[in-house]
Amino acid sequence: MRVLSGIQPTGPFHWGNYFGAIRQYIELQHTATESYYFIANLHALNTVRDKELLQQYTLNGATDLLALGLDPEKAVLFVQSDVPEVSELCWLLMTGTPMGLLERCVSYKDKIAKGLKADAGLFAYPVLQAADILAYDADIVPVGEDQLQHIEVCRDIAGSFNHHFGETFVMPKGKVLDQSAKVPGLDGEKMSKSYNNTLAVFDEEKKQRKLIMRIQTDSRPMEDPKDPEGDVLMDLYKLVASDEQVAEMSETYRKGGFGYGEVKKALANAAQEYWAEVRERREEFAAKPELVREILAAGAAKARAKASATLKRAQETGAVVPPI
């Protein structure tokens, strides 16, 4: 089983990125025959237009993944733009992709609906993503729920290429975690960098505590029993607290007579404990940017070897006719 996933360096990674996707990367690296994880800086260009900031976010992203447990001995970690073959493959795929397929993509439609600026890169994003996945012959793509539609688009694109030119690409499958496929943000909507509702994994404790204390809650009387299901605080608590703590808190909800302030404090304490070790590890990696760069360079060489073989295969199956 070959596994691949990418993550955009558009800002600090948040709990949604970690519990929806990164946690899967860390787990799957032990069982996959090959795994590829990349920092999607070309995708991020759609949002981050400041060169230095994007470079910094890219290095930070790799540092974060290493601190969170990605092991370069087990998984190939690299930066998307270090593999130019993928952009060429993207063009081969773009020529057979119907506009309607991309127009139906929810993440594009959502951003437009929220008034965010759209350029051709944002619109064609799922095609580059398809090239990212297909270039490495990925069987499994661990993601959050919001990305499942893009993986279906990738399958459509690969299927139509295979049908037209002959078997070329491996059909990938998306993989989400049932419990954390869509982590809610501070406002109860999907946690998302562009919605400004995130808890960053590596925020310092004080800032995280402050943000947690500001989470919106309902205004029902304190005495009323409350349903622990579908409650933002409880949903976040489940991610960082132990099973025992969650069972206790659920009981407190059902009984009523508590204040949300207490729940927020418990959530902040559990979060502090949950992230303490990786925060320390991050400081160690952050002190060695040269080591991170070396890991990325070694990863890029391995990723390029794989992607150029796939590009050649795609060119040979018929998409590019050699000039006579």
- If the CB atoms of residues 92 and 142 are measured against ligand AQP, the closer one turns out to be 142
Do β-strands 2-7 and 34-39 pair in parallel, antiparallel, or remain unpaired? parallel
Separation between Cα atoms, residue 267 and residue 269, nearest integer Å: 5
Residue type, 230: G
Other Cβ atoms within 10 Å of 162 Cβ, number: 15
Contact (Cβ atoms closer than 8 angstroms) between residue 47 and residue 80 = no
Binding map of ligand AQP across residues 24-53, x = CB under 6 A, - = no contact: -----------------------x------
Of the candidates 2, 23, 190, 302, which one interacts with ligand AQP according to CB under 6 A? 190
Q: Is 232 in the site for ligand AQP (CB under 6 A)?
A: no
Q: Is 191 in the site for ligand AQP (CB under 6 A)?
A: yes
Of the candidates 85, 132, 139, 146, which one interacts with ligand AQP according to CB under 6 A? 146
Query: Residue 293: which H helix or E strand, with range?
Result: helix 289-314
Shortest distance, position 194 Cβ to ligand AQP, whole Å: 3
Q: Is 58 in the site for ligand AQP (CB under 6 A)?
A: no
Decide if 190 is catalytic.
yes
Which residue stretch of 114-122, 140-148, 232-240, 278-286 sits at the interface with ligand AQP (rule: CB under 6 A)? 140-148
Structure tokens at 113: 């609906």
Total residues at the site for ligand AQP (CB under 6 A)? 20
Structure tokens at 83: 């593999």
Shortest distance, position 129 Cβ to ligand AQP, whole Å: 9
Residue (of 233, 249, 4) closest to 133 by Cα position: 4
Shortest distance, position 190 Cβ to ligand AQP, whole Å: 5
Separation between Cα atoms, residue 135 and residue 312, nearest integer Å: 10
Residue (of 276, 248, 281) closest to 69 by Cα position: 281
Residue (of 103, 68, 89, 70) closest to 3 by Cα position: 70
Q: Is 64 in the site for ligand AQP (CB under 6 A)?
A: no
Catalytic residue among 51, 74, 114, 193: 193
Separation between Cα atoms, residue 313 and residue 277, nearest integer Å: 44
Of the candidates 23, 182, 304, 313, which one interacts with ligand AQP according to CB under 6 A? 182
Q: Is 281 in the site for ligand AQP (CB under 6 A)?
A: no
Q: Is 299 in the site for ligand AQP (CB under 6 A)?
A: no
Of the candidates 3, 4, 20, 105, which one interacts with ligand AQP according to CB under 6 A? 20
Decide if 302 is catalytic.
no
Of the candidates 31, 56, 179, 194, which one interacts with ligand AQP according to CB under 6 A? 194
Residue (of 31, 33, 133, 18) closest to 65 by Cα position: 18
**Could you identify the residue written with the tokens 């999907």?**
190
Contact (Cβ atoms closer than 8 angstroms) between residue 8 and residue 40 = yes
Shortest distance, position 157 Cβ to ligand AQP, whole Å: 18
Give 251's contacts (C-beta < 8 A, 6+ positions apart). Answer: none
Q: Is 193 in the site for ligand AQP (CB under 6 A)?
A: yes
Beta bridge partners of 3: 35, 140
Of the candidates 75, 89, 93, 183, which one interacts with ligand AQP according to CB under 6 A? 183
Shortest distance, position 181 Cβ to ligand AQP, whole Å: 6
DSSP string over 72-84:
TTTSEEEEGGG-T
Catalytic residue among 51, 74, 109, 111: 111
Shortest distance, position 75 Cβ to ligand AQP, whole Å: 15
**Residues at the contact surface with ligand AQP, assessed by CB under 6 A:** 7-8, 10, 16-17, 20-21, 47, 143-144, 146-147, 181-183, 190-194
Q: Which residues are catalytic?
A: 111, 190, 193
